[in-house]
Amino acid sequence: MCQFLIVALFSTLGISSAFAQASDPNSTCADYMKLLAQMGPQPKTGDAAADDMDKKINDYCKANPTAKLSDAMEKAMQ
């Protein structure tokens, strides 16, 4: 279920294929933050809900770098 949510979230937000690595159910928040750093600054989507979701995921991952990325996404959707 979590892996489906991750794929659905990335598809919905229109995030690039580089994020396909982040759909790994074993990815951690540290992996995600490292990937974001490698990709450089990300433009706003223009969709307030998607931008808010990105912020929630980033905030959670910064506070919990060893947490699974799927947990961060679930928390952001609540």
Distance CA 7, CA 51 (A): 17
pTM: 0.67
**Residues lower than pLDDT 70 in the chain:** 1-23
Domain residue ranges in the chain: 2-77
Distance CA 64, CA 37 (A): 17
User: Cα separation of 51 and 42, whole Å?
Assistant: 10
Structure confidence by residue, pLDDT tens digits, 9-31: 555 454 443 455 556 788 899 99
- Cα separation, 49 vs 20, whole angstroms: 21
Extract the tokens encoding 32: 């995600």
Structure-token match 């750093």, residue found: 37
